[in-house]
Chains A and B, each alone.
Chain A
Amino acid sequence: MRCLVTGGNVKVIGKAVHSLSRIGDELYVEPTEDGLSLRAVNSSRSAYACFLFAPLFFQLYEEGSLDPDGETFRCKVLMKSFLGVFRSLPSLEKMVEKCLISLNPRASRLVVQLHCKYGVTKTHNLSFQECELLQAVFDKELCANTLRAPARVLVDAVVHFPVTLAEVTLGVSPAGKVSFRNYLDEETEPSRTMVTELCLSEDEFQDVQVQQQSHVTFCLKEFRGILSFAESSNLPLNIHFDSPGRPAIFTLSDPLLEVHLVLATLSDPNSSSQVHSTTLQARPANGAFPTATPDDDFTGDDIDSYMIAMESTCEEGLGLPSSPTFPQRHPHPGAALESQSSAMESDLEGAVPGTPPQKKFRSLFFGSVLTPSQAGTHPGPSQDVLAEDSEGES
C-alpha cells in the first residue's frame, strides 16, 4: 500500500487523526478501492468513527495487492504513535510538503514519511497489528430525525457547556425547536448541579426533519472531536437520530472525504419496551449486499475476544434498571451480521468483558465480519480462533 498526500491535505489527515484520537486508543487503517479508511472505536464500543479518504484525495493512491485470501490489507496501530506524527497541526501546515503512508512488509512496519521544507524528511516506522474489520452496524436512512447545520452553529452551541461535561442531550420537536442540554446522571444531585439549556430555532439549520418529539443523550467529548474537524473543513454536519437507545449518526461528506461518527445514546429507562428490535440494514464493508437482519444486531464473536471488549448483559438486570442501560440484545438464531458473512450467533453472556466502561453506555452495534472463507460456516463455540489476533486474551 502506498498513499501520497500533498499540500493542504496533509493537515486534513492530521485533523482527522486528532478527531479519531478523541475516540479510541487504536487507529484502524484499511486501504480499499474506495479509498483509505481510518477508523477508531472506544473501549466500551459506544463510539465509532470512520474517515474515508477517496483515492482522488491523494496524489498517489495504491491500495496494494490483496492477500492470498482475497482480502485487502488491514491493520491497527497505536493511536498515540500515529497521533505523534501529526501532533502539531501548525507545524504540519508550515513545514510538511508531502506525506507518504506506506507499508513495509519486510520490516512489518507502517511507514509514515513526512517530506518537509529545507530537505528534511522525517520517517516514522510504526508497528502494527493485523486485525479484523472494524465496522459498526448502522443505517442513517432508518433514523426518524435528521438535522443538518453548519459546524459553526453547533460549535457555538456546545461552547456553553463546560469542557468537562460528559453527556449532552439533544432534543427536537416537530415545531422546529432544537435544544441541547447537559445531562445529569443519577449520581449527580439535581439540587446542586447547574443545568444549562440552549435552544436553537430551525432557521439556524440547513435541514430539519423531525417526525416526532424526541431527545437523545450522547457523549459530548466524541461529538466535540468531530465538530472541530467539521469546523476546520467548513462542511455542514448531518445528525441522524431516532429514539433513545438507538445510535446517533453524525456525518460529513464532500467528494473526497466521507466521515461517519456513530455514538451510542442512553436508552430511556422508563421506556415501555426494554428490548429494542432494531432492524438495521447492515452497512456492507465491501459493497456486497447484506442479508436482512430481522432482529437485533449484536456484537461479535466471543472467540475474537480482543475485538469485543463487551460486557455481558444479564437478563435479571433488566427488571427496572437503576441506571440507563442498553436494551438487551438477544442473539437471534439465523440473524445475519453485516457484509458477506453468514449468519452468526453470538453468545453475549459468554463474552469476556474488556475494559469496563466508565459510563453506562453498553457496547452495542458492532458486527464482527467474518472473512468470506468462513462464509457458510455456521459458527458455534468451537469456531477456529482467528490467527491474526496474536495478542488476544484467551
Chain B
Amino acid sequence: MRFRAKIVDVACLNHFTRVINTIAKLAKTCTLRLTVDKLYFILTDKVANGGVSMWCELNQGNFFDEFQMEGVAAEHNEIYLELTPENLSRALKTAQNAKTVKIKLTNKHCPCVTVAVELPSLSSSSRIVTHDIPVGVIPRRLWNDFREPSVPDFDVSIYLPVLKTMKSVVERMKNLSNCIVLEANLNGEMNLKIETDLVSVTTHFKGLGNPPWVSEDGSQNSTQDRDPESMAEARIDIRKLLQLLAGQQVNPTKALCNIVSKRIVHFILLHEEVSLQYFIPALA
C-alpha cells in the first residue's frame, strides 16, 4: 500500500485547502478513499453523527501534479483510511505560500498521512514543515460499508437559494429552535419554517427553479404527476443544516436538494472539480 502525491500550484493548493476546510466543518472523523483517479471523503450514517451522511468526490488530476497510489492488492487498487480532517486542515492552513506540498502515507509510530510542506525561506535551503497525522487503515472486509449512496426516490427536487442568504436566515432561526422545517414544491418555491410555543417564523423563497431529473431508464419521472403546488417537507436538525451551509467557503456552481417527504433531505453541491452530497434525516 503506497500513496504519494504532490501539489505545486498555489491555486490548486488553495482550492484543495478549501475543500478540506469544508469537510472538516462537516465531520470530526471521516473515511478517505483513494483510487487511481479520485479522492473521496465519506461519512456513513451512524447514530453518533445524528444519522447524517456525506459523500464528497474530487478528481485528483485537478489538484495534484503527481499522484501515485498502490492499493491493498492489484484487484482492489484502493486505499481506505479513517482520519480527522481537522488535522489535515490545520496542516494546510500555514502552507498557503508553500513551494510544494507533498502528502504521503507513512508508517511512523503508527500509520500516518504525512504532509510535508516546503516553504520559501531567505536562506538557500527551504524550510520544511512535516505534519504526521495518525490515520487508521480500514481493512478490505469493511469496504462495503462505504459505498456511494444512491439518490433517494425524492418527492421534490429544487435548486437552493443563494447559500449565503440561506445561511444567515438559518443562523438566526437557530437561536429560536432546534428543528427547522424545509419544504419545497415543483414550482420553485421553498420555505424554511420554525415553530415554537411562542413564535413561528417562515422565510419564503420563490423562483428557485427545479432541476430536470431524468430517471435511468428514460421513463417519465414520477414527480411529473405531482401537483406542482404541493409541498414536500422534512423536519430536520437545524444545527446539521447550519453546519452544511457554514462550511461552504466558495459558492458552488450548482446547489440543489432532494426532499423525501418526512424522511430525508439530500443536498447536492457541485463545484467545478468537487461534488459534495450531504444527507440529513428527518426528525421523528
Interface residues of A (CB under 8 A from B): 153, 156-157, 159-160, 162, 190-201, 203-204
Contacts and interface: CB of A to CB of B under 8 A. Distances in A.
B150 interface: no
Nearest to B114: A195
A156 B131 CA distance: 16
Contact of B134 (A162, A192, A197, A200): A192
Contacts of A203: 123-125
A201 B90 contact: no
B128 A198 contact: yes
A196 B128 contact: no
Main secondary structure of the interface of A (DSSP, over half): mixed
B127 A162 contact: no
B109 interface: yes
B123 A195 contact: no
A38 to B, nearest CB: 32
B127 A200 contact: yes
A201 B132 contact: no
Contacts of A194: 87, 90-91, 131-134
Interface residues of B, number: 20
Q: Which 10 A-B pairs have the closest CB atoms?
A: A203-B123, A191-B110, A201-B125, A195-B132, A194-B87, A198-B129, A196-B131, A160-B94, A204-B123, A199-B128
29 contacts: A153-B122, A156-B127, A157-B127, A162-B90, A190-B109, A190-B110, A191-B109, A191-B110, A193-B134, A194-B90, A194-B91, A194-B131, A194-B132, A194-B133, A194-B134, A195-B132, A196-B91, A196-B130, A197-B129, A197-B132, A198-B127, A198-B128, A199-B127, A201-B123, A201-B124, A203-B123, A204-B121, A204-B122, A204-B123
Contacts of B121: 200-201, 204
Nearest to B117: A160
A197 B116 CA distance: 9
A200 B128 CA distance: 7
Interface in B32-90: 87, 90
Contacts of A153: 122
Contacts of A156: 127
Nearest to B90: A162
A196 B125 contact: no
A57 B125 CA distance: 39
A191 B128 CA distance: 23
Contacts of A201: 121, 123-125, 127
A204 to B, nearest CB: 5
Interface in B95-152: 108-110, 121-125, 127-134
Contacts of B87: 194
A160 B90 CA distance: 8
**Of B108, B109, B123, which is in contact with the most chain A CB atoms at under 10 Å from its CB?**
B123
A197 B133 CA distance: 12
B130 A197 contact: yes
Contacts of B125: 201, 203
A157 B90 CA distance: 15
A162 B87 CA distance: 10
Contacts of B122: 153, 204
Nearest to A200: B127
A194 B94 CA distance: 15
A340 to B, nearest CB: 46
Given A199-B127, A199-B128, A159 B94 contact: yes
A191 B107 CA distance: 11
B125 to A, nearest CB: 4
Given A196-B91, A198-B127, A204-B121, 5 more contacts: A153-B122, A195-B132, A197-B132, A200-B121, A201-B121
Contacts of A195: 108, 131-132
B21 to A, nearest CB: 15
Contacts of B90: 162, 194
Given A160-B94, A191-B109, A204-B122, A196 B127 contact: no
A193 B109 CA distance: 11
A165 to B, nearest CB: 11
B66 to A, nearest CB: 22
Nearest to B93: A160
Contacts of B133: 194
A283 to B, nearest CB: 34
A375 B109 CA distance: 56
A331 B125 CA distance: 48
A201 B124 CA distance: 9
A191 B82 CA distance: 12
B157 to A, nearest CB: 40
A193 B127 CA distance: 23
Contacts of B128: 198-199
Contacts of A204: 121-123, 127
